[in-house]
Structure 1
């Protein structure tokens, strides 16, 4: 099956054909680092992490770029509010973001440029636009993109008319009295006395939000990207502006061949955002739920659909993921007792069938919901075979290898980074602990409380304390 993606630009499903064969330049808009990131950010970056992982799985050479906006009105205002040095504050929250992404198993970008480290390149791009006649400077020291002089018209990505954009901008367009036209967007902002800024041909100032992404994506990727992604809230004005200024700057069309946008994470059907005050930071949620559960919660919805957040929905995700983890535990336990010359028991056939259905699902615009649904079918069949038939070690090892293969795409099965996994008592390997916990879980499901308590006590004697919670059973060294 050919990989097909939904392109926001055309509003159609299209065959995925990069500009240069198997090489994919992929740019995802990074965070503005003025606070700890919330779960809505996790939704976006986990979603695009899965897309990146799947492209790699399918044999593409992916160059993944995601920036850090470390200078912006929000950063400046937060530094003033807290009485902190702007650069110290942005560094702190950059480190916090990277820490969150690592916890959620989001692969580090191939390039993660910061705005403040690319001021000369941004000034050069603004100068190019002025020289081409598609930007103008004002007496206030601001520089704007001139939409009236542009050959391309705004609204191509959002599929809106100019009237619709003006009426529905919702405060996303900066209102300045030195603009020629209301929809003109800022490329360079003058800095008030005493505020952080850099010298430029138009006076002391700093970059506008949109121009930074154009400059950094082209420097570390290409003048024509294969994939540009981000949240749906970035379509207008941010991504619209990127298209206009990038294509005007280089003269090449299109700036990005495919535009992918993830849906919102909502609370009571309203978008989670700091501006609305209805958000939970990633760190707050990690205090209550494991990284694997949070990632499963995100991935078990198609990336273009909205997800409504609640504690109950995360608990449900934990229970669903636990069913898959129990299968892994069952297979590991069976492997410990399997004979070298046992039967295949159709496990190889089942693996091949599941791999094919998973690829078909992921080739359909990265349909993780359907892919995980197929994994539940696989899980039930494996559990039945393991419980009822004699099987070979090789076949069981193939099952675990296949699960690892799937985890390389979805990232939902990996061991949690936890203090409990350090300093495991000598003679008691980690896999054995997990097997015993799996046996206890099955005993509890069958209401065999005597056996469940006996396993708990045996683990305690070996120096392992187990704790039951909404997020499943966890363990630690006693």
Structure 2
């Protein structure tokens, strides 16, 4: 099957063909670390985590790069408000971001470079653009990219006219009176003594927002990327600026072969953002909902579509997630009592078909929504068989391995694979849990119902649920 992706550059579905054989250089714009990240950030990084995982699943050698913007106007302003050193504040919120991503099962990028660690490379690239005549320095110590040098490229990614961009630019474009043209964007900003700054040929200053991504994506990837990703709000001016400055610097086109953009996470149909004040941090949401539910909530929507946030929607996602998680638990439990001689009930063929459907959905621009719908169909059949029939241990193992296989892509069943690890309780080992269950059984046999209930409640407090069935007692984590 052929993988197709929706390319923002062409606004068409295209067959995915890397520039260099099996190697995929993939860059996704990282966060500006001036606060705890909100759920909109989670939406973006979980989505691209799944895309990265699926490319690896397909056999590609993926080099995944995602930066950290640790010096920026927003960082400096927040530090001024709090009285902190800007770089120390950025370090603190960088760690907060890393912790959030770990909670949500987002794999660490192959490289996660920070702006402040790449100032010499940024200055070198800006100098080269000035030498080429596609950038200019002003008397104030600022350096801008000259849009007149690339006038035919304006709007290449946003598919807007110059007039439309000028009308809608608003706060996304720096308004400075030393620019030659309103849409010229800053590469180097002069810094006063009370703000972070570095010496350069144009005076003390710091990088503009756009230049950092070109430097780090090419420095750790290649001069021409296979995939560049980010949120829809980055298309203009950020990603267009990257295209212009990068292609001017290298003389190579395209800067990125495929541009992928995730939809927004909205509240009442309005984009969640800190500037609008309508946001919930990842940490706030994780206090109310487990990471598996939050990740499933995101993955259960196609990455290009918007997701409307509400606690009701997260509760629905939690219930849907549990249907899959419980199926995995049921399979594990059935395997404990299954024999090698049982029937397969057509499950080998069902797994083949489920895998085909999964790949078919994911090959259509990483359609996780459709992929999960097919998985739910498969789980219903599995549960129907488990409820009244004795499948062989080998076929159940085959089914379980399929769930493990697809979860390498979706990353939604982390807790399910930990069910025998003791990681979800307050220090109880599997042996201790089993011993408590035996004591409860003894109490029940002796009709000491109060003691049995005390043991059950003790286990529940530690996040362990026990279920009495016709084949005995089973336990699982909440």
Q: TM-score, normalization: structure 2?
A: 0.91
SS in 2 for 1:280: coil
CA–CA distance in 1 between the matches of 2:138 and 2:463?
66
Which residue does 1:381 correspond to in 2?
A: 381
Instruction: Show CA shifts across 1:298-325 (max 9, x none).
Output: 0000000000000000000001111111
CA–CA distance in 1 between the matches of 2:138 and 2:290?
52
In 2, are the aligned partners of 1:425 and 1:462 still within 8 Å (CA)? no
After the TM superposition, which of the residue ranges 328-337 and 86-95 deviates more from structure 2?
328-337
SS in 2 for 1:382: helix
After the TM superposition, which of the residue ranges 4-13 and 188-197 deviates more from structure 2?
188-197
- 1:399 equivalenced with 2:403 (yes/no): no
After the TM superposition, which of the residue ranges 396-405 and 67-76 deviates more from structure 2?
396-405
Instruction: Show CA shifts across 1:315-348 (max 9, x none).
Output: 0000111111111121122111111211111111
Residue 421 (structure 1) shift: 3.4
Which residue does 2:427 correspond to in 1?
A: 423
SS in 1 for 2:25: strand
After the TM superposition, which of the residue ranges 408-417 and 21-30 deviates more from structure 2?
408-417
CA–CA distance in 2 between the matches of 1:381 and 1:362?
22
CA–CA distance in 1 between the matches of 2:128 and 2:91?
31
In 2, are the aligned partners of 1:135 and 1:145 still within 8 Å (CA)? yes
SS in 1 for 2:321: helix
In 2, are the aligned partners of 1:129 and 1:249 still within 8 Å (CA)? yes
Residue 429 (structure 1) shift: 6.2
CA–CA distance in 1 between the matches of 2:458 and 2:185?
67
Residue 374 (structure 1) shift: 0.4
Within 5 Å, which residues of 2 pair with 1:354-365?
Answer: 354-365=354-365
Which residue does 1:342 correspond to in 2?
A: 342
In 2, are the aligned partners of 1:154 and 1:162 still within 8 Å (CA)? yes
Which residue does 2:165 correspond to in 1?
A: 165
Which residue does 1:65 correspond to in 2?
A: 65
Residue 230 (structure 1) shift: 0.1
Within 5 Å, which residues of 2 pair with 1:24-423?
Answer: 24-150=24-150, 152-415=152-415, 420-421=424-425, 423=427
SS in 1 for 2:89: helix
In 2, are the aligned partners of 1:26 and 1:64 still within 8 Å (CA)? yes
Instruction: Show CA shifts across 1:404-455 (max 9, x none).
Output: 111100001111889643522452569x99xx9xxxxxxxxxxxxxxxx999
Residue 460 (structure 1) shift: 4.1
Residue 459 (structure 1) shift: 3.8
SS in 2 for 1:149: helix
Instruction: Show CA shifts across 1:61-86 (max 9, x none).
Output: 00000000000000000011000011
- 1:224–1:426 Cα change, 3 Å: closer
For structure 2, the 5+ residue unaligned runs are: 441-449, 466-474
- 1:23 equivalenced with 2:27 (yes/no): no
CA–CA distance in 2 between the matches of 1:386 and 1:145?
64
For structure 1, the 5+ residue unaligned runs are: 437-452
In 2, are the aligned partners of 1:68 and 1:94 still within 8 Å (CA)? yes
- 1:419–1:330 Cα change, 3 Å: closer
CA–CA distance in 1 between the matches of 2:459 and 2:307?
42
Residue 387 (structure 1) shift: 1.4
CA–CA distance in 2 between the matches of 1:415 and 1:475?
8
- 1:9 equivalenced with 2:9 (yes/no): yes
Residue 458 (structure 1) shift: 5.3
- 1:354–1:456 Cα change, 3 Å: farther
CA–CA distance in 2 between the matches of 1:220 and 1:369?
32
SS in 2 for 1:19: coil
In 1, are the aligned partners of 2:426 and 2:462 still within 8 Å (CA)? no
CA–CA distance in 2 between the matches of 1:159 and 1:263?
17
CA–CA distance in 2 between the matches of 1:454 and 1:390?
34
In 1, are the aligned partners of 2:425 and 2:462 still within 8 Å (CA)? no
Residue 31 (structure 1) shift: 0.2
CA–CA distance in 2 between the matches of 1:420 and 1:14?
43
In 2, are the aligned partners of 1:152 and 1:244 still within 8 Å (CA)? no
SS in 2 for 1:361: helix
CA RMSD of aligned residues (A): 2.3
Residue 152 (structure 1) shift: 4.5
Instruction: Show CA shifts across 1:80-125 (max 9, x none).
Output: 1000011110000000000000000000000000000000000000
Instruction: Show CA shifts across 1:107-161 (max 9, x none).
Output: 0000000000000000000000000000000000000000112265210000000
Residue 257 (structure 1) shift: 0.1
- 1:427–1:260 Cα change, 3 Å: same
SS in 2 for 1:201: coil
SS in 1 for 2:414: coil
